[in-house]
Structure 1
Amino acid sequence: MRVVLWNDKTNILESGELKVGDITRFSHAYTGEGFDGNVELHVGDKGVIEVIEINPKDVENRDYPTISKFATKIAEITRKQKRVNTAGTVKELFSTHTFKRRDSTTGKVMRFLLTDETGEITVVVWNDMVDRLKNVLRKGAKLRIINAKVKKGLANNLEIHVSSGTYVEPVTTEEELSRIVDLKEGLKHVNVKGEIATKPMFRNVKTSRGENVKLAVFELKDETG
């Protein structure tokens, strides 16, 4: 849901007190229809914004999904989505180009290739965001992209576009962990955390190349499986 802050309520964003990923309670707000026909939450002069810090009695962080739970896998991105949240690793960076707008001002654009275990997609970065991300974008960097536009590229392939309304941040190792229930055959670069549930079993096996190797096998569990 889109949230719209009015007048002095925008100060909480400008000061950095409210940031992406925060668990937040909105009180005395009201709803309205946005320009795209979807319901928006509006916070005006009578509204109250409260950033939840450390698990008060009636709120626990575990009751709320993290942003990563709303990320769309690259292979699942479609043109119908219009806006998308996704995450992945920077595979390749391309040069920055400048261009002249119709009003004779100069703009900037650059592209990079983002990949995850399901596929890859071109990310197009526009204008001020090119400068903002210059210290973040590097080959191998793991990023989360929030509220990017989905568009068709020149070759009819899908692209995601990053502009002033998009949030991009590095992803920490902890946030990259997969849940056991989400694992399936063929995934690469998988990070998972769990509890060892059985005593390890050791055995010697011979590979297809004729090499003798030692294996240790045990069961791992988390809250999902």
Structure 2
Amino acid sequence: MDDIDTVYEKLEGIISREEFEAKVEEKIEEMHNLCDVQTAALLVAHNLGATDAGVETTKIADINESSSNVNFTGKAVSIFEPKEFSRDDGTTGRVGNIIVADETGSIRVTLWDDLADLLKTGDISTGKSYNISGYAKEGYSGIEVNIGRGGGISESEENVKANINLSGISDIKDGDSDVNVVGMVLDVSDVRTFQKRDGSQGRVRNITIGDETGKIRITLWDGRTELADKLENGDSVEIINGYARLNNYSQEVEIQVGNHSSLRKTDREVEFEEDYTPIADIIPGQPYSIKGAVSGMGDLKEFTRSNGSEGKVSNIYVSDETGRIRIALWDEKAELVDKVDIDTPIKIIDAFAKSGFNEEVELNAGGRSKVVVD
């Protein structure tokens, strides 16, 4: 093992040559023969604390595009299912991703081909610490580390404290990438299907989450819609590596969760309190939440939309100590008109304000809204 002589010179007195070589062989086997002897030796030296054994280690916060080859230790906090792709030469490749973190921050790590398979077999799992050797480059959502044949990943005995930089919901802006946020689930929608430009069928789903700074709508696409299957109102969830985008219809910033993002339950405690607006302060052009009592009701009407689908609408009036406003309830919500009486306490959440009949302000409670009858 001439390739490891230089590495072992830094370890004399710490471990015998025979023990060191045995650990190198174990490391190669642990990595399923996916790294060379030199890389395995460096990783073993790193585990043994030999900081001058040719292994220059760094913290995640210090990794940038000019870092080139990097060695660091981090805890896996999210794992993404590997995907296959076709190369220009006709061969099939595989690629998978994990998010790892240390006490200084988090970063995406990309594994290729045989290394990506380790994500399927369970050899790499969340909550464990790993020594990682790879090269840094600008990726899909910022700097990431790629591990190919020249790098490696192996489990570390170090108990890394993972620090994920979390955003407060009110601080999230249009265009933000690598958004990490924790919030309380306030609402989970059903999965909706749509036709993509290529003719295939897509799926989309929304959840709304809140924290002590505000609330925000989360959009889950295609396979990610299943992440919300077991969520219930009141659960705490953690979103890693989402991206923020302005919804042109509502003019509100939303978080998109696609193939490069993760969403999962967390034990973190999150505080949220709905912000209710006095009826007298409502102006057209934005969503509001109000609470009061039913002070008027209209009839439920059915109609046919221009696309041939059937719809329902009804109207109620809600009053609080500042005023009275008309609420248009659409589709399933329209049936509530038959379930409430005058003076029934009610909350209308995330209804959009517009100028209605005689230019009076009214609220529309559609698919994005929630109605709570106390």
- Shorter chain as normaliser: what TM range? 0.5 to 0.7
Select 1:51's aligned residue among 147, 155, 159. 155
Where does 1:87-166 land on structure 2 (aligned, <5 Å)?
87-135=182-230, 137-153=231-247, 154-166=249-261
Say which SS state the counterpart of residue 81 (structure 1) adopts.
Answer: coil
Shift of 1:80: 4.0
Q: Distance in 2 between matches of 1:60 and 1:21?
A: 10
Query: Is 1:41 aligned with 2:135?
Result: no
Indicate if the aligned counterparts of 1:8 and 1:45 stay in contact, CA closer than 8 A: no
Indicate if the aligned counterparts of 1:97 and 1:109 stay in contact, CA closer than 8 A: yes
Q: Distance in 2 between matches of 1:107 and 1:80?
A: 23
**83 and 156 in structure 1: CA distance in 2 versus 1, 3 angstrom threshold:** farther
**164 and 39 in structure 1: CA distance in 2 versus 1, 3 angstrom threshold:** closer
Select 2:135's aligned residue among 30, 33, 49. 30
TM-score (norm 2): 0.41
Say which SS state the counterpart of residue 118 (structure 2) adopts.
Answer: helix
Return the structure number with greater relative CO, CA threshold 8 A, min gap 6. 1
Q: Distance in 2 between matches of 1:78 and 1:20?
A: 29
Shift of 1:76: 1.4
1:211 aligns to what?
A: none
Select 1:74's aligned residue among 155, 166, 169. 169
1:10 aligns to what?
A: 116
Q: Distance in 2 between matches of 1:60 and 1:131?
A: 32
Shift of 1:93: 2.1
Q: Distance in 2 between matches of 1:115 and 1:176?
A: 12
Structure with higher Rg: it is 2
Q: Percent identity?
A: 27
Root-mean-square deviation over aligned CA pairs:
2.3
**145 and 76 in structure 1: CA distance in 2 versus 1, 3 angstrom threshold:** same
Higher strand share: 2
Higher helix share: 2
Select 1:19's aligned residue among 121, 125, 129. 125
Which AA in structure 2 matches 1:49? I
Q: Distance in 2 between matches of 1:169 and 1:35?
A: 21
**40 and 131 in structure 1: CA distance in 2 versus 1, 3 angstrom threshold:** closer
Q: Distance in 2 between matches of 1:34 and 1:128?
A: 22
Query: Is 1:65 aligned with 2:162?
Result: yes
Q: Distance in 2 between matches of 1:39 and 1:122?
A: 26
**33 and 107 in structure 1: CA distance in 2 versus 1, 3 angstrom threshold:** closer
Q: Distance in 1 between matches of 2:140 and 2:239?
A: 23
- Structure 2 segments unaligned to the other structure (5+ residues): 1-106, 274-374
**117 and 35 in structure 1: CA distance in 2 versus 1, 3 angstrom threshold:** closer
Say which SS state the counterpart of residue 199 (structure 2) adopts.
Answer: coil
Q: Distance in 2 between matches of 1:18 and 1:111?
A: 30
Which AA in structure 2 matches 1:31? A
**152 and 20 in structure 1: CA distance in 2 versus 1, 3 angstrom threshold:** farther
Indicate if the aligned counterparts of 2:227 and 2:264 stay in contact, CA closer than 8 A: no
Shift of 1:51: 2.5
**How far does the alpha carbon of each residue in 1:126-177 deviate from its partner, in whole angstroms, 9 at most, with x for none?**
1111124312x221111001111210012211100112221111102xx449
Q: Distance in 1 between matches of 2:257 and 2:245?
A: 11
Q: Distance in 1 between matches of 2:139 and 2:191?
A: 34
Which AA in structure 2 matches 1:12? L
